[in-house]
Amino acid sequence: MSAPVLVLILGSLFMASAGQAQPVVNEVLANEPGSVTGLEWIELYNDGQPVNLQDFSLRVGDNLIELPSEVNLSDGEYYIICRRLFATSTSPGFESIWGDSSGVWGDTPYEESIQTPFEVVMSLANDAGCVELLGGSTAVSSLTWITGGLDGCSWERVSPGSDSVVQSIDLAGSTPGILNSVTPAENDLALTNITVAADDAATSLTFEICNVGLELVGFSRLYLVDTVPVPADTLDVLTLEPIGSGDTIELHRWYEFDGLYYPLIAKLSEDDRDRNNALGFMAVGRDYPPVVLSEVMANPQDDLSTEWIELKSRTDLTLDLSAWFVGDALRLNPISSESILMQPDGYIIIAQDSLEFLAYYPAFSGRCVQPGSWASLNNDGDMVRLVDRFGIEADRFEYSISFEGNYTWCRQEESSFTGDWGRSADPGGSPGDRNEVVITQGVSALNVTVDPPYVSPDGDGFEDYATITISAPAADDYTAKIFDRQGRAVRTFYEHNQFLTPSLEWDGLSDAGNRLPVGIYILYVDAAGVQSVKKPIIVAR
């Protein structure tokens, strides 16, 4: 065969192949956002030569949808088939959610980039379904889903030539009329997360940036923009090191802002997919937090049968805590689904059981709120967390022990509201009132007295118990125990307790509540790493 003939045949084959290029079902939103209906849509994409839709139709379930004959799709062009294009008096439409909600299609650059969507009567199943594109009577493309997936999140084809279909990873949940969020681009950095934390007088910002593209990004910048002034001010410009494909980096920066909250935008340099380049977020200022943890009842006993947490305002503003969260180390729960107004400098009690709380504290006249669910606090150590409506941790308190006798953990109420935590001065604490806190004894030596130095637990009301008084210097922890003459611990008041209990009573009974034999016993008190004291104490008849 001569060379010219071969070239002619190859050219004919190429033209035939190009002429057979077909559009594909590229994206489907079946599980509409929220509780609205009528927002289902299908996206077609043409990845070849220009094509007219007059010879194509869509099969949705048992229904066949004829496509408009006047629509021509160029190479790289998208087309939307939707259930409702414009909003009605009672329901939104495609244009009001993904357009500019003007009631007109084509009045923004985004809308101009897509031909007017085709409105049809259709119904897509949330949990499982299939959309087929037919050329004549032949299926040329299909997109199938077998689960409901996330609410308001579309199913996207990974690439036009791929059979792989996954849920959209776009922050908006879908990408109608633009490159699918799961389709790799060559040069594509994504700003995936921003963590905000109050760090003393400064604000800590952590930016997480991932290279989701196919190529190494050798140079890029991150811009931090203040959204309040018009025009907006650029507060900082961060230059990024090269980031390889699939790699993630974190940038940590500290800033000082005025006030309580500070709205900002972080934006990466332009690349092949700008949609994942920017995130708006709320930073915090030097007046943050407006509310702090003030008191914690972690170990309710006897007639008190509910845990509770006290919050204290430290601002002159009235705040709504309905979108705030409280919890432990593992779980956070909404404080309330209804409006909860916290007055300036006021207190609010968050109780596991509000009725039980009010029954135990009949004189309490403040606000007590019972959340819909509660993360139970551990007696032997836990963490209490308070998180605001923007997901920023306002406060946390960690403890390694809880107190017997319904004593609470409470915070010294200094002017900064960041005072040290200690044990409440009184059983039951001080809910809704200023805290009285026991931290340590201000003495230089460990002193222990026993009065009387013996106990006669016969129930006659005379010398049935001995009072043990302890004063101690600051130490890592404190221990108070009673041993028999064989060195066995028979009564443990507390061991490695972070705070000193200065007054104890012993009734001559063991830890199990049994009366101990007559004899000499040893009271042992230890201020860890500082000093220990042993005192004899006698059990008499």
Is 184 part of a structural domain of the chain?
A: no
Same domain, 55 and 148: yes
- Which CATH number belongs to the domain containing residue 274 in this structure? 2.60.40.10
Decide which of 249, 284, 319 is a domain's last residue.
Answer: 284
Give pLDDT, residue 14: 32
Is 471 part of a structural domain of the chain?
A: yes
Dihedral sign for Cα atoms in the order 418, 424, 426, 429 = positive
Tell me how far apart the alpha carbons of residues 395 and 311 are, in angstroms, rounded to a whole number: 10
Please give the structure tokens belonging to residue 401.
Answer: 């022990």
Same domain, 326 and 403: yes
Closest to 279 in 3D by CA, of 206, 211, 174, 181: 206
Tell me how far apart the alpha carbons of residues 256 and 498 are, in angstroms, rounded to a whole number: 35
Tell me how far apart the alpha carbons of residues 541 and 539 are, in angstroms, rounded to a whole number: 7
Same domain, 346 and 459: no
Same domain, 49 and 127: yes
Same domain, 431 and 350: yes
- Which CATH number belongs to the domain containing residue 524 in this structure? 2.60.40.1930
Same domain, 139 and 194: no
Give pLDDT, residue 404: 86
- Which CATH number belongs to the domain containing residue 395 in this structure? 2.60.40.1260
Same domain, 297 and 269: no
Q: Which residues of the chain are under the pLDDT cut of 50? A: 1-19, 415, 441
Is 349 part of a structural domain of the chain?
A: yes
Give pLDDT, residue 17: 38
Same domain, 332 and 359: yes
Decide which of 107, 132, 167 is a domain's last residue.
Answer: 167
Give pLDDT, residue 460: 78
Is 231 part of a structural domain of the chain?
A: yes
State which residues form the domain around 508: 447-539
Closest to 508 in 3D by CA, of 461, 443, 455, 436: 455
Amino acid type, 143: L
Give pLDDT, residue 105: 97
Is 459 part of a structural domain of the chain?
A: yes
Is 182 part of a structural domain of the chain?
A: no
Give pLDDT, residue 414: 64
Same domain, 85 and 101: yes
Give pLDDT, residue 477: 87
Same domain, 303 and 367: yes
- Residue 220's Cβ-count burial label (10 Å; 0-12, 13-18, 19+) is buried
- Residue 289's Cβ-count burial label (10 Å; 0-12, 13-18, 19+) is buried
Tell me how far apart the alpha carbons of residues 123 and 37 are, in angstroms, rounded to a whole number: 10
Same domain, 312 and 418: yes
Number of domains in the chain: 4
* Polymer length of the chain: 541
Is 464 part of a structural domain of the chain?
A: yes
Cβ atoms 93, 174 nearer than 8 A:
no
Same domain, 217 and 120: no
Decide which of 438, 468, 498 is a domain's last residue.
Answer: 438
Is 500 part of a structural domain of the chain?
A: yes
Strand, helix or coil for residue 146: coil
